[in-house]
C-alpha cells in the first residue's frame, strides 16, 4: 500500500495510490497521516478499502511529505561502506546519529533552496524509515514490529557548515527545504527486503549516485533498535538511514556542489522517485 499527502503546503490531506497509479483521497477516513494512522490496525483497515471507490485527486496535485507532524527527524551518518571509503572516513563502530530540523521537511518535488552564504550544498539519496508504533529500547529482533513503512529522503547537506564550522553536523543538515520526503510511504509488507534496494540520484541528467542498500553498515533492524535506546520513537517519526557513494563532496579530482538552476532526480526501487529544482537564495 502506498500512502501519501497531497495539497498545498500546510494544508495537505491524506491519500493513497490505487493499483493504476491514481491518487485517491482518504479525507474523512483518517484525519491525516499521523499518530494512530501508522498503527498496524489502521494500516490493515486502509489496506482493506476498495481504492477505486474513493474520490480521485486531480493529476498533477502537489505532494507533501508522507508523514504529518513527526516528533523526530533522525538521520544516520556514514552508514554505507562505499560512501565511507569515498570520504576517507573510518567505518563507524556504532551508528552516527544526528538530527535534521523539522523545518527541513518538504514534499518530494518541492524546490530545494541553497541558503544565503552557502557554497557547498550537496545531495544524498537515502532510504527513510517511518515509525509505526511507540518504540523505546526495543531489541533488534523486535525492531521491525515498530516500522510502518519506507520512503525516500534527499538528505541535502551544506558541507562547509557540517564539517568546517565547529564540528557538529546538525547545522549543515538543518536549512529550510533540506529534507524532501516522499513521494509516498510504502508499507513494509511491499518491501520484503529493505537491504536489497537499488538507488540513484541524477543532477541535470548526469548520474551522480548509483548504489544499493546492500552496502549499509548497520541495517534497518539494527538502526531502529539502536536509535530507540537513545531517543524514544513515536508514530510518524523518520529515520533516514545514510547514503551510498557519489555525493558531490566525494567527487574526484575535485568536489562538485549545487549552484542553483539544477534539477535533482532521485529514486529507490519500489519507492518511486523525487525531482527537485535547485534555487539559489539571491542574497548569497
Structural domain spans, the chain: 2-63, 68-280
Contact 181, 12 (CB under 8 A): no
> Using alpha carbons only, what angle is made at residue 210 by residues 205 and 216, rounded to the nearest 5 degrees?
150
Q: Are 80 and 216 in contact (CB under 8 A)?
A: yes
Q: Which regions of the chain are under pLDDT 50? A: 284
Strand partners, 185: 3
pLDDT digits (tens, 9 = 90+) for 98-117: 999 999 999 999 999 999 99
For residue 149, the Cα-to-chain-centroid distance in whole angstroms is: 11
Q: What CATH number does domain 68-280 carry, 3.30.56.10, 3.50.50.60, 3.40.50.880, 3.90.850.10?
A: 3.90.850.10
Q: Which of 232, 214, 178, 266 is nearest to 81 (CA)?
A: 214
pLDDT for the residue numbered 283: 56
Cα 36 to chain centroid, rounded: 20
Amino acid at each position: 500500500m502506498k500512502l501519501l499527502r497531497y495539497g498545498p503546503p500546510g494544508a495537505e490531506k491524506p491519500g493513497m495510490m490505487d493499483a493504476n497509479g491514481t491518487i485517491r483521497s482518504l479525507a474523512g477516513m483518517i484525519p491525516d497521516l499521523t499518530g494512530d494512522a501508522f498503527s498496524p490496525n489502521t494500516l490493515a483497515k486502509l489496506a482493506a478499502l476498495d481504492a477505486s471507490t474513493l474520490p480521485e485527486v486531480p493529476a498533477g496535485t502537489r505532494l507533501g511529505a508522507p508523514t504529518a507532524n513527526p516528533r523526530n527527524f533522525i538521520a544516520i551518518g556514514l552508514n554505507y561502506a562505499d560512501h565511507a571509503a569515498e570520504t576517507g572516513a573510518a567505518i563507524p563502530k556504532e551508528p552516527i546519529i544526528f538530527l535534521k530540523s523539522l523545518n527541513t521537511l518538504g514534499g518530494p518535488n518541492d524546490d530545494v533552496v541553497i541558503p544565503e552564504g552557502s557554497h557547498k550544498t550537496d545531495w544524498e539519496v537515502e532510504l527513510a524509515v517511518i515509525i509505526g508504533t511507540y518504540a523505546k529500547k526495543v531489541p533488534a529482533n523486535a525492531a521491525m514490529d515498530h516500522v510502518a513503512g519506507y520512503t525516500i529522503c534527499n538528505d541535502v547537506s551544506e558541507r562547509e557548515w557540517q564539517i568546517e564550522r565547529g564540528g557538529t553536523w546538525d547545522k549543515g543538515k538543518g536549512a529550510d527545504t533540506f529534507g524532501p520526503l516522499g513521494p509516498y510511504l510504502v508499507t513494509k509488507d511491499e518491501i520484503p527486503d529493505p537491504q536489497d534496494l537499488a538507488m540513484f540520484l541524477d543532477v541535470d541528467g548526469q548520474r551522480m549516485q548509483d548504489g544499493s542498500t546492500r552496502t549499509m553498515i548497520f541495517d534497518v533492524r539494527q538502526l531502529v533498535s539502536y536509535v530507540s535506546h537513545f531517543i524514544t520513537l513515536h508514530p510518524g517519526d523518520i529515520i533516514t538511514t545514510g547514503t551510498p557513494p557519489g555525493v558531490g563532496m566525494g567527487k574526484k579530482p575535485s568536489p562538485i556542489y549545487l549552484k542553483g538552476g539544477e534539477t535533482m532526480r532521485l529514486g529507490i526501487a519500489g519507492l518511486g522517485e523525487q525531482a527537485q529544482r535547485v534555487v539559489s537564495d539571491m542574497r548569497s
